Amino acid sequence: MDNIKEIINQAGEFIANTDYNKIKELKGIQMFDAPIIGIAAADDPLFLKLKDKEVIGDGHMTPLEWMPQAKAVISYFLPFTEAVRKANRENKDLPAIEWLYGRVEGEIANKELAKFLVKKVVDMGGEAIIPGLDSRFVSGNYKSNWSERHVAFISGLGTFGLSKSMITEKGAAGRLGSIIVSIPFEATERKYEGVYDYCSQCGACINRCPAQAIDKLGKKHEPCDDFLTNVTKKRFAPRYGCGKCQTAVPCEYRIPVIRKEGHKE
């Protein structure tokens, strides 16, 4: 649909030009490249599946619960630039300053992009909300009532990795966001079936993690959170972050394996 192509182009221009995407303290380097965008139908049955207690739980709200007139969800992945990713490949123990800005100021840029997209949808005559900025949004105990990663999976953007990062065609190093809209944009085809299809299970993220939070069974949230809060935030407040499991790994900026075609890079 032409409307969605227009939105995708404008989202790319917004990220290319906005000062929110520049770190002025670091010579104005850009944090993100242009976003990739996926669309889900608001009534996709997978949104109900997220309510299963073995997935997220009953508290996870469907698009229609957020907005009864919802017709689609626009989910996007903002890939970190090479400058941010390269910096964070160094030093196994602590995050790069570029990454810390990308995690904190980058999240502000992310939310500005969501607001920009809402405005574009409204300009087209539709309605839109940003669940992550809605007064009903709640998170805690490593869960929320709108999981950007699960929404990205449903929207065709990618699958989970062993590190619980979302692996997209632009890799795992980046930030996710989404809006719910009343315009029935056509859903993006999901080019995968399993929730870990894009992960090669190479184990590189296990060795990268300074908190030993990842093993071959997956990621434990507590040691990761403890590292972010009690090591990086203490040292770098008001910033924090890590992302070692998303840099210097095969899924950093690409899909490391394409299982459907039996092709491994």
Which chain residues interact with ligand SF4 by CB under 6 A? 161-163, 199-205, 208-211, 213-214, 219, 224, 227, 242-245, 249-251, 256
By the 8 A CB rule, do 250 and 108 touch?
no
CB of 189 to ligand SF4, least distance (A): 22
Pairing relation of β-strands 257-258 and 72-79? unpaired
Q: Do 187 and 114 form a contact (C-beta atoms < 8 A)? A: no
**Closest separation in Å from C-beta 85 to ligand SF4:** 14
When the beta carbons of 39 and 211 are compared against ligand SF4, the nearer one is 211
For residue 76, the minimal CB distance to ligand SF4 (Å) is: 20
Q: Is 229 exposed, middle or buried (0-12, 13-18, 19+ CB in 10 A)?
A: exposed
Closer of 71 and 170 to ligand SF4 (Cβ)? 170
Least Å distance, CB 226 to ligand SF4, is 9
Provide, rounded to whole angstroms, the least separation between the CB of residue 181 and ligand SF4: 30
- Burial of 109-144, coded b for 16+ CB within 10 Å and e otherwise, reads bbbbbbebbbebbeeeebebbbbbeeeeeeeeeeeb
The CB-of-13 to ligand SF4 minimum distance in angstroms stands at: 31
Whole-number Å distance between alpha carbons of 200 and 255: 9
Q: Closest approach of Cβ 264 to ligand SF4, in Å?
A: 11
CB of 179 or CB of 248, closer to ligand SF4: 248
39 vs 242, beta carbon nearer ligand SF4: 242
- Of residues 75 and 163, the one with the C-beta less far from ligand SF4: 163
Contact yes or no for 99/243 (Cβ under 8 A) = yes
* Residue with Cβ nearer ligand SF4 (71 or 208): 208
Evaluate whether 240 touches 232 at the Cβ level (below 8 Å).
yes
| Nearest to ligand SF4 of 152, 199 (CB atom) | 199
154 contacts 44 by C-beta, under 8 angstroms: yes
- To ligand SF4, the closest distance from the beta carbon of 58 in angstroms equals 27
**Angstrom distance (rounded) from CA 96 to CA 87:** 6
Cβ-based nearer residue to ligand SF4, 114 or 242:
242
**Which residue of the chain is nearest ligand SF4 when measured via CB?**
161
Pairing of strands 158-160, 174-181: unpaired
Closest CA to 233 of 138, 144, 104: 104
- Beta pairing partners, 23: 29
